[in-house]
Amino acid sequence: MSSVVYYKFLHQKNKNVIHFDGTGISVFDLKREIIQQNHLGAGTDFNIKLYHSEQPEIEYELDNDVISRSSYVLAKRSPASARMGKFNNASRYITGKPRLNRKMINSTNNANVTAMSMAAATGTGSVVSVGGAEAGITEEEKIKLMFENQSSAWAHTQDELAQHKMVYYKPTTTTATTAGNEDKPPPGYICYRCGKKDHWIKNCPTNNDPNFEGKKIMRTTGIPKSYLKTLTKEEVEKNFGSITNSSGSGDGMEKEGNAVLITDEGEYAIALADSKTWMSYQEKLQNAAMKSKQEYDSRLVGLAQQENKWEFIDPLSQTKRVLQPPIYMTPCCTDASKLKAMKNFNYNQEGLETLLIENDFHCPNCNKEDIYIDSLVRNEELENKINQFVESKEKELGLKDPSKRSFKDVLGNDPTAADDGPDVKKQKL
């Protein structure tokens, strides 16, 4: 039968356990088990004592005393000392035998003498001593006697426990509450059922409402304080109402879609967009797209110059680029033989109209007056030729117009422009 005894050194906080067989263990064996379990060595430089847990001033003085199972004792280790010419330490618990009390030895001897005289009077040859240490007792009788001693010790312990006074738990004044004075939650506490902070969740007014749907209270964890705008309770109730979305599911969203968050101090707040980082991200996207467009146009212009197709190049653009539909001509200059100030008589519609307005409706090539916008002539034949030229070169060389691609494709050509793109997108969302 496996039993346990709990012990604790005076400097420790937690209990330790010693396992043994039977209903009790002697003080000698318990001290030896404690020394071995804590790896205290041979015990030559210290002494160990055991005390009652309920009465710490009472020590287990006799090594033969039996400690019943499930008991709790206190252990104390002290330096070894010399007394009456003998060195007193704990080494005997490792290599020696338990010390016997002289009074117990005398009483045992007297009992043995009485038993021997009674045996001699009755004529029996076997002698059974009270201590069980005589050679005339069998092994089975020794075991039986040991269990009887343990049972008597356990019965004595039960008698002592029956006389102990019960100590009931009495709550302190700081934790005790009354019906009229309910304790309030600490600062920063939020009821995760209704989103308010003036009561505990166990006292929420909506606990008895079967039709109430709990709100999803979100914290500001991970969001810098510079991106938060603190709101008062009055502002939340005035501007955001019940802090629910249009579906009424109570997910902590106000009507415009901004999430109403709760700070560590228990205040309401909404997250502000990082407009500075977002504008920087948009600027990088535009620069990347513009750079890709310039490279694409310069590549097409170079190919058109190699094939001597100068009519494909826009004469009004400061950076050389291929004309894009719709393409128009002035009514006075529709032939290459009439070229004077310009290298091409074909223009983009937007550029040509802007130039006529700025030059008081004078032809940019021959400077003829009264060239109005409604009199411009569209060159559809040249538009078809340019479209065929661009399509053939894109298929042949694998070119692609950046204006027809997404921002993701544009950033693929410029890795430096997408360093903080994903983070900015998350912040914007």
Q: What pLDDT score does 74 carry?
A: 93
* Alpha-carbon distances of 214 from 120, 258, 294, 337, 412, rounded to whole Å: 91, 19, 56, 82, 45
Q: What residues pair up with 16 in beta bridges, in sequence order?
A: 7
User: What amino acid is encoded at 302 in this protein?
Assistant: G
Under 8 Å CB-to-CB from 158, ≥6 apart: which residues? none
- pTM, two decimals, is 0.33
Percent of the chain with pLDDT over 90: 5
Q: Which of 191-195, 313-317, 324-328, 419-423 has the lowest mean pLDDT?
A: 419-423
Q: Which amino acid is at 29?
A: D
Amino acid at 348: N
Q: Average of pLDDT values for 232-240? A: 67
Q: What is the pLDDT of residues 4-40, one digit of tens each?
A: 999 999 888 889 999 998 888 999 999 999 998 988 8
Examine residue 205 and say whether the peptide bond preceding it is cis (omega within 30 degrees of 0): no
CB 291 within 8 A of CB 283: no
The pLDDT of residue 99: 60
Interatomic CA distance for residues 377 and 356, integer angstroms? 14
State the chain's maximal CA–CA distance in angstroms. 162
The answer on pLDDT for 260 being more than 90 is: no
Say what the pLDDT of residue 240 is: 56
Residues 91 and 50 sit within 8 Å (Cβ to Cβ): no
Q: Quote the radius of gyration of the chain (alpha carbons, Å).
A: 50
- Which backbone phi and psi does 409 adopt, to 5 degrees? -70, -35
pLDDT digits (tens, 9 = 90+) for 42-77: 888 888 999 998 888 888 888 888 998 889 999 998
Instruction: Report, in this order, helix, strand and coil percent for the chain, each rounded to 5.
Output: 40, 15, 45
Q: Which residue's structure tokens are 């901004």?
A: 258
Instruction: Locate 78 and state its tokens.
Output: 């002290």
Give the pairing of strands 228-231 and 268-271: antiparallel
Continuous H helices in 96-210: 102-122, 139-162
- Residue at token pair 């600027």: 283
Domains of the chain with bracketed CATH: 2-99 (3.10.20.90), 213-271 (no CATH), 278-425 (3.30.40.10)
The Cα–Cα gap between 243 and 239 comes to 9
| Confidence check: pLDDT of 120 > 50 | no
User: From CA 401, how far away is CA 380, in angstroms rounded?
Assistant: 21
Answer yes or no: are the C-beta atoms of 267 and 230 closer than 8 Å.
Answer: yes
175: which 2 tokens? Answer: 């934790």
> Which residues pair with residue 305 across a beta bridge?
none
Please give the average per-residue pLDDT across 126-142, as a whole number: 58
Q: Report the alpha-carbon angle 406-411-414, nearest 5.
A: 145
Average pLDDT over residues 310-339: 82
Q: Which pLDDT band, with edges at 50, 70 and 90, does 246 fall under?
A: very low
Cα 104 from Cα 86, distance rounded (Å): 22
Mean pLDDT for the stretch of residues 348-352? 86
Among 302, 343, 352, which residue's Cα sits nearest to residue 324?
Answer: 352
